[in-house]
Structure formats: structure tokens, C-alpha cells
Amino acid sequence: MAKPEKSSRERKDKDRDSEGGELVERLVAVNRVSKTVKGGRRMGFAAIMVVGDGRGRIGVGSGKSREVPEAIKKATDQAKRKMIRVPLREGRTLHHDIEARFGAGYVRLRTASPGTGIIAGGPLRAVFEVLGIQDVVAKSLGSSNPYNMVKAALAAFELMESPRSVASRRGRRVNEILGRKDDTKEKSDG
């Protein structure tokens, strides 16, 4: 007995995250792979997907299968399970410049002023779009392998810290961390 096909409404409900927002999915790369067996070669496909909510959550997944749609489905499911939260400044850019490496892939991510846009190519552009970053400058050095580039970007996001988290860890106020002068101290000194 075959399972009934899910309606588009049920699929949309399934794609909503816990906060009620719609998840954005981007296919980064599909690669044809082969396995040599006694009778010859068995062809298959490997896919890498990025999934995000456009407000600071992102997940990366990879899947392999004999068919492309099945590989994409596996990658999407894995990405949804492995989502992380990335702190964003003003909901549009990174808090600070950061560099990270995964394997031979090396990425350098820099904050940008409003209106700059996403200055990044290939797999990194898809990562920033699903994350909800609107202004960023990214440079990829070393390997151009999409797996390493995406995972290096994810490693950079895991190192990212907001001023609020740094202030709470140090037991200080955010203004002290950012080096801003407090208006109340200036008025009392004068």
C-alpha cells in the first residue's frame, strides 16, 4: 500500500521553524560520484544544501544517493537538524571581521556598511542569503571546493560573538566593551 502524497500545505507547515518563520533552502552543489565494483562502476550523486530562516539561523547538510532528488532531500533534512544561531549586527551584517579554515578552505569575512550588498561568490553567496546577511565582504582563499568553503564559513560563524555575550562573560556593560563613553560620566566630570 503506497503512502498518500503530502499536499503543498503540509510541506510548507513542515518547513516552518519553531518561531513560525519560513525556512529558505539553497542548493550549493551537486556532484556526480562513482563507486567501482566487480561489475563496473555504480554512479551516484552527492549534494550539499544550506538552510536558514533569514534572521540568523543556518544549517548545512550533505547527502548521497543514486538519484539527485533523494540526495537533495537527505542533505536538506540533515541541514535542518544541524542549525546554529549566528549573532547579526542590526540584522544585516556581522559584528566583527573573522577568518576561519576547514581543510584547505580558508575564508575571510568582513563587516560592511549599509548598502554594500553581498560581495561574495559561489557557495558563500548562498550561505549569506539564507542567513539573512545583506551587507558583507567575503574572500575565499585556498581550496575552491564548495564543501570546504561552506564548512569554513560555518566554522567562522561558530567563532562569532556579539558584544552582549562578551560583556556578560566579562561582567561588564556593552558600552565598556565597545569603548563608547558613558554620557552620565561626562556630565558629572564637567
Q: Which amino acid is at 47?
A: A
R_g of the chain computed on alpha carbons: 21
The CA-atom distances, in angstroms, between 60 and each of 80, 98, 111, 175 are 8, 19, 22, 34
Domains of the chain (ranges; CATH) run 8-159 (3.30.160.20)
> The pTM is what?
0.78
Q: Give, for all 190 residues of the chain, the pLDDT tens digit.
A: 454 555 444 444 444 444 456 899 999 999 999 999 999 999 999 999 999 998 889 999 999 999 999 999 999 999 999 999 988 888 888 888 999 999 999 999 999 999 889 999 889 999 999 999 999 999 999 888 999 999 999 999 998 888 888 888 888 888 887 777 665 555 545 4
CA dihedral 25, 26, 28, 31 (to 10 degrees): 70
If you count them, how many residues does the chain have? 190
What's the CA gap between 124 and 154, in Å, rounded?
10
Packing angle between helix 123-131 and helix 146-159, nearest 10 degrees? Answer: 40
Residues 6+ apart with CB under 8 A from 46: 30, 31, 33, 62, 63, 64, 71
Q: Which pLDDT does position 167 carry in this prediction?
A: 85
